[in-house]
């Protein structure tokens, strides 16, 4: 029987793929690709057809198979899959490095760039050639002998360490649970959390668990952890859960501490081999930001606008807790802040987050989100469940169509939390990219397909999934990424969608979409009470929008702390261990210092197992871009439908369409007409009047 991982079907055969298929599929594929690569290297003629097109074909065939395996590691993790993944990963990395370091191909590309044929290529093709040369240089094509061998060993080691890091976080997260049996222990918890935790208890073997009588199982998974910290009246239980959360993956066989030290050491060595003074400089060589000082300037500007505000917000919280008679008011701890912040928000804005859930059943939210996509970008999204194999029964499949052009893309949606097998957070990833070269026979293009992954509250006791407002924002965010992947107009696979978009600009489309959650017509239009069908009352929307700037200084400073810490670890490594470095950076960038035992770095997957190493600042960098982009709609007039559609069309034809075919700043300017400014972001967050930040 043919290995389903090597099936040439347009969409992966998730209904047939098992861990046992991984190693034989990859070994067969790598052998074939190695032969193809050798053939390209023998010819290496300095033309687009002889060099770039074979690279696209080879890279895509590897992505088709290895990408599916990586996807399943994230959404259907198992011991069997892990073992297969870890055994074959070094061979995949070795081939990828060989491909990137091919001297014949590199020399051929250099000859192409210097030839008259280069001038005949269009702008997107020229950029692809230039980026292929840059990436080859950043992957060690210029290294020889022992230096190359060492660089390649580092690449393999780093890939394995990232996989171990992520697996440790998943295992540590699912290893902890707080089992509550007394009614007083769940006082204050919203009904939705009691229902979720009772369901978790039943899944753990407590067959008689109910929302009313318990027992209730609280976990470190976000849909459980976050509302518990915001609503549990038992301070001792909040403390216990918080301490478990910040010490995930820092003990025993799951300890990521040694892995962090090893990852940072290897990254420093990697950068040094390539002639960079730090890994941060290596990272920024392929990003939008010019250099580390440019990143520092942006972060410092935002710090200056947020630090004093964050200090004031903490003092305000202390005063509020004291007025409420809280004995802990004088010394608020980390496990107190979410609880009292939620109480103050409820009092100030006169609504509870739990009041919003019934208005946001997932099916209605999706309907409203898809309606917004049609309004702004002229696309129609329709369910196509059953038309594609899926990896879990909750996964849905949708097709994207455009008037007069038919189908242009498709995507999977995996919406719910499954802590036993699915990593936390939310993300978008590629299943297939748009490409003219890789079109099926008889078709002009291969259409893009996306994975859209969230960890929302699942349906409980016959009710639909009822989203928190934060979960609505997350869905909009990830859908923004998917739109950039799916609505690209670029036909070259190496620059379509999010391919070769600078990493510090890749959050632009996603964070841009979040802004629509605060637009009256949009939010009310996607709401519908799951029992009565009534839309969200306008007075509730007014309160939501007013609360948008609530604790904005604290929220921004938290992201800046992570960004400064990431940059410090990758640019100014000192004699401190990483946790001492964290404590030192916290002195200047937090208003409530981390606990001495805080080990959040051990679960910081973004920089140790994701793509954000020396790049976590990208969230704030791109947020400046996204806020400025949304300001174009505000300036056009959000109530002027024709202006909104015209601006949306321009956004689509630039930010969403051009992908990596042009530099991100050029793409932004083509939409906005000018360079980005922090003014819109500071206005949206209520921090428009910069304050002086203290230095100690």
* Backbone dihedral angles phi then psi of residue 466, each to the nearest 5 degrees: -105, 115
- 478 catalytically annotated: yes
Provide the token pair at 606: 């973004």
Provide the token pair at 496: 């379509």
Provide the token pair at 399: 């097709």
Q: Which of 271, 155, 288 has its CA nearest to residue 571?
A: 271
Q: Are strands 406-416 and 449-456 parallel, antiparallel or unpaired?
A: parallel
Helix pair angle (618-636, 641-651), 10° resolution: 140
Long-range contacts of 383-388 (CB under 8 A, 24+ apart): 384/410, 388/11, 388/412
* Backbone dihedral angles phi then psi of residue 394, each to the nearest 5 degrees: -80, -10
Provide the token pair at 544: 């939501």
Residue written as tokens 């230095």?
695
Provide the token pair at 119: 């001038």
Listed in sequence order, the residues at least 6 apart from 137 whose beta carbon sits closer than 8 Å to its beta carbon are 274
Q: With beta carbons less than 8 A apart as the criterion, state whether 304 and 328 touch.
A: no
**Is 214 strand, coil or helix?**
strand
Q: How many residues would you count in the chain? A: 696
Q: Which of 199, 235, 190, 229 has its CA nearest to residue 217?
A: 199
Provide the b/e sequence for 137-170 (b: ≥16 CB within 10 Å): bbbbbbbeeeebeebbebbbbbbebbbbbbbbbb
Q: With beta carbons less than 8 A apart as the criterion, state whether 177 and 219 touch.
A: yes
Cis? peptide before 215, omega within 30° of 0: yes
Q: Which of 230, 478, 507, 623 is catalytic?
A: 478
Provide the token pair at 153: 């060993």
Listed in sequence order, the residues at least 6 apart from 215 whose beta carbon sits closer than 8 Å to its beta carbon are 179, 180, 181, 198, 201, 206, 209
Residues noted as catalytic = 478
């Amino acid at each position: 029987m043919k290995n389903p991982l090597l099936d040439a079907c347009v969409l992966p055969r998730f209904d047939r793929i098992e861990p046992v298929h991984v190693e034989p599929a990859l070994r067969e594929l790598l052998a074939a690709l190695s032969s193809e690569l050798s053939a390209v290297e023998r010819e290496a003629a300095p033309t687009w057809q002889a060099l770039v097109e074979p690279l696209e074909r080879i890279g895509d065939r590897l992505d088709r198979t290895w990408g599916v395996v990586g996807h399943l590691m994230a959404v259907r993790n198992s011991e069997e899959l892990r073992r297969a993944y870890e055994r074959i990963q070094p061979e995949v990395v070795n081939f990828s490095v060989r491909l990137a370091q091919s001297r014949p191909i590199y020399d051929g590309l250099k000859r192409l760039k210097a030839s008259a044929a280069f001038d005949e290529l269009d702008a997107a093709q020229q950029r692809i050639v230039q980026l292929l040369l840059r990436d080859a240089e950043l992957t060690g094509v210029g290294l020889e002998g022992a230096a190359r061998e060492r660089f390649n060993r580092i690449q393999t080691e780093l890939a394995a360490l990232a996989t171990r890091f992520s697996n440790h976080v998943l295992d540590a997260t699912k290893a902890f649970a707080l089992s509550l049996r007394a009614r007083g222990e769940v006082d204050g918890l919203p009904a939705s959390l009691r229902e979720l935790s009772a369901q978790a208890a039943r899944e753990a073997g407590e067959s008689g668990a109910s929302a009313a009588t318990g027992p209730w199982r609280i976990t470190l998974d976000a849909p459980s952890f976050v509302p518990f910290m915001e609503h549990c009246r038992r301070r001792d239980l909040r403390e216990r859960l918080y301490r478990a959360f910040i010490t995930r993956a820092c003990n025993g066989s799951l300890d990521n501490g040694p892995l962090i030290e090893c990852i940072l050491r290897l990254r420093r060595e990697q950068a040094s081999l390539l002639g960079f003074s730090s890994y941060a400089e290596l990272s920024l060589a392929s990003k939008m930001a010019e250099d580390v000082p440019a990143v520092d300037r942006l972060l410092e500007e935002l710090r200056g606008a947020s630090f004093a505000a964050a200090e004031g917000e903490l003092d305000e919280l202390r005063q509020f807790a004291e007025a409420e008679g809280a004995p802990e008011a004088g010394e608020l701890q980390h496990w107190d802040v979410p609880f009292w912040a939620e109480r103050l928000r409820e009092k100030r804005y006169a609504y509870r987050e739990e009041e919003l859930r019934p208005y946001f059943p997932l099916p209605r939210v999706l309907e409203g989100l898809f309606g917004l996509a049609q309004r702004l970008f002229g696309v129609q999204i329709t369910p196509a469940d059953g038309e594609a194999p899926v990896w879990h029964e909750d996964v849905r499949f949708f097709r994207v169509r455009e008037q007069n052009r038919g189908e242009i893309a498709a995507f999977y949606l995996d919406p719910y939390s499954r802590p036993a097998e699915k990593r936390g957070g939310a993300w978008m990833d590629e299943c297939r990219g748009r490409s003219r070269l890789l079109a099926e026979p008889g078709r002009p293009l291969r259409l893009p397909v996306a994975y859209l992954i969230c960890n929302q509250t699942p349906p409980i006791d016959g009710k639909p999934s009822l989203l928190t407002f934060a979960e609505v924002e997350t869905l909009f965010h990830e859908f923004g990424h998917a739109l950039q992947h799916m609505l690209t107009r670029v036909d070259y696979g190496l620059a379509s969608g999010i391919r070769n978009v600078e990493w510090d600009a890749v959050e632009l489309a996603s964070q841009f979409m979040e802004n629509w959650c605060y637009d009256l017509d949009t939010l009310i239009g996607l709401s519908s009470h799951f029992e009565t069908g009534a839309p969200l009352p306008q007075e509730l929307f007014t309160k939501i929008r007013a609360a948008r700037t609530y604790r904005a200084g604290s929220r921004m400073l938290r992201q800046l702390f992570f960004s400064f810490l990431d940059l410090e670890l990758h640019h100014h490594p000192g004699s401190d261990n990483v946790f001492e470095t964290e404590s030192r950076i916290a002195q200047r960038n937090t208003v409530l210092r981390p606990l001495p035992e805080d080990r959040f770095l051990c679960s910081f997957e973004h920089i140790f197992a994701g793509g954000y190493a020396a790049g976590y600042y990208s969230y704030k960098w791109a947020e400046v871009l996204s806020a400025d982009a949304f300001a174009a709609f505000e300036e056009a007039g959000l109530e002027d439908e024709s202006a909104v559609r015209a601006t949306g069309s321009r956004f689509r034809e630039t930010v969403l369409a051009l992908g990596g075919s042009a530099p991100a700043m050029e793409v932004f300017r083509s939409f906005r007409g000018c360079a980005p400014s922090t003014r819109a972001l500071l206005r949206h967050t209520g921090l428009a009047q910069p304050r002086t930040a203290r230095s100690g």
